[in-house]
Structures are given as structure tokens and as C-alpha cells.
Amino acid sequence: MYVAVILILVAVGTVVFHFMSPWWWTPIASNWGFIDNTIIITFWITGVVFVAVILFTAYCVLRYRYQEGRRAEYEPENKKLEWWLTGLTGVGVAGMLIPGLFVWNQFVNVPAEAAEIEVVGQQWNWSFRYPGKDGVMGTSNVRLINDDNPFGLNPDDPNGRDDVLVDGDDLHLPLGAPVKVLLRSIDVLHDFYVPQFRAKMDMVPGLVTYFWLTPTRPGTFDILCFELCGIGHHAMRGSVVVEAKEDFEGWLGEQETFAQAMRRTGTDKALALRAQQ
């Protein structure tokens, strides 16, 4: 009897905790409310199953408790019960899987009008790259990364000379404009995550991953690395500043381009001298 009561209290306590818990999501700041909806669907399906299993266990403990003179019966198979369990399990799994597939399809199919930016992760800071006035980002290669060229941009690619480089600063995004976020790591596995955007993606060395979003609310939001990447993982943080288009363009015009960085470090002169030789 005591075990059955404890199990019932666990089920009731779980439901009460859910509705009274202060640990809810932060307000969303992008178009990805679909992800919240998908998580809620999964939560309700698994929650109902969890409570049902707990209550069924309590029923079995109470119903089939030891009583003097009662004999146990051995019933190795029950096809009717097996079909019911298989069918309900299939419906539950489909209910969790199908919404996620629809959202994932939207998550990786980028609108044609989306602008591109690049996020570069390394132990333990973030860097960002924007296309210049030509709207096209130049090519990069991990073999070109050095102290004077931390992004590894190809100096021979004319599309990259006007790329805007932001090293260890805030990521600025225009309000209400779709953005494709290209993700690159130059050392170990990282994960770019902004909780208010409901958007995250692994950053795998040697690959370029991506997702897209449309910021829907101005403000400053935290960037977190959501993949253990070393002893400084906890400090790998940054900020996203979502602002009006005019403010964004004004900020972008004040940043250094790749061509300016090469002139500042003398890299362009070294390349010119090498070409002459």
C-alpha cells in the first residue's frame, strides 16, 4: 500500500511541479516559435506516458499485492495487449517525430533573400564576418590561418577584400531581415547557441554548417557555446545585438575590412613582394 501511495504522489507531484515551475523558456526573439511548439508536443506525449506508466505501476502494486491463499498465474503472451502497446507506441513516436521533421525542413531551407554572415569559433572566443558592398563573401582555407589572417581568407580572392571582419566583439543583426548563419570552427567541436533565437548548430572542424533565422525583437542576447570544448568552455560567451537596419548599417560601416586589415599588418605588401619575386 505504501509503495502504491508513493508512486501516485510521484505522478501528482510531477504534474504540479510542471505547472508551478519557474523554469520556463526565455521570451522568443526570432521566427522559430515552431521549435517551441515541437518541444511542447513532445513534452505532452512523453508526460502523459510517464504519468500513465507510474499510475499503472501503482495499480499493479496494489491490485496484485500478496494475499494469503491467492495463487499467481503465468501468462507468457497476450496478443491483444501486445497489439495495443505496439499501436500506441507507434502513434506516440510518430507524434513526436513528424512535427520535428517539418521544422527541421524549414530550419535548413534558407529563403533566397537571406543575407549571409559567418561565425567562426575557436578556443575560447567568437569572431564574425560579413560580406562587403558586393554582397559576396570571399573564400577561406584553414591553411591560410595565422596571426595576421585569423579568418584564413584567401588574399587572392577579390570577393573577400571588402569582407567585414569582427574579431571578439558583438554580433550585430538587422531587425526583421532573414539571415543565413554560416558556422565554422578552426580548432575543436563547438556549438553556436542563442537561447532567445531557439537556434543552435554544431560547428565541426573542416565543415561549414548553417541555419537561418529572422530576428523579431530588438535587444541584446547571449551567445553560448553549447558543446564542451575545453577548460575555457564556460567562458566562451558573446552577445547578439539586434537593431534597426539604419543602426546596423551605421555600425557595419565603422568596422574593418579584410583589405584594411592586410594594409594595417603589412600583409598586402608582403604578398606584392612575393608576386614580384
Q: Which residue has the cell 578556443?
A: 123
Alpha carbon distance 230, 222 (integer Å) = 20
Q: Which CATH number fits domain 115-276: 2.30.30.240, 3.90.79.10, 3.40.720.10, 2.60.40.420?
A: 2.60.40.420
pLDDT tens, residue by residue, 206-217 = 889 999 999 999
**pLDDT value at residue 276:** 44
Q: Per-residue pLDDT averaged across 170-188, rounded? A: 92
What pLDDT score was predicted for residue 275?
42
Is residue 238 pLDDT above 70, yes or no?
yes
Q: What is the pLDDT of residues 10-55, one digit of tens each?
A: 888 888 888 787 767 788 999 998 988 998 898 888 888 888 888 8
Instruction: Give residue 194's pLDDT.
Output: 93
Distance CA 107, CA 199 (A): 9
| High-pLDDT (> 90) share of the chain, % | 33
CA dist 165 and 172 (Å) reads: 12
Buried b (16+ CB within 10 A) or exposed e, 99-121: bbeebeeebeebeeeeebbbbbb
pLDDT at 152: 86
CA distances from 113 to 110, 179, 180 (A): 8, 9, 10
Mean of pLDDT over the chain: 86
Q: Where are the domains of the chain?
A: 2-64+78-108, 115-276
CA distances from 214 to 106, 113, 199, 204, 224 (A): 12, 11, 11, 24, 19
User: pTM above the 0.85 mark?
Assistant: no
* Mean pLDDT for the stretch of residues 192-204: 92
Asked if pLDDT for residue 277 goes beyond 60, the answer is: no
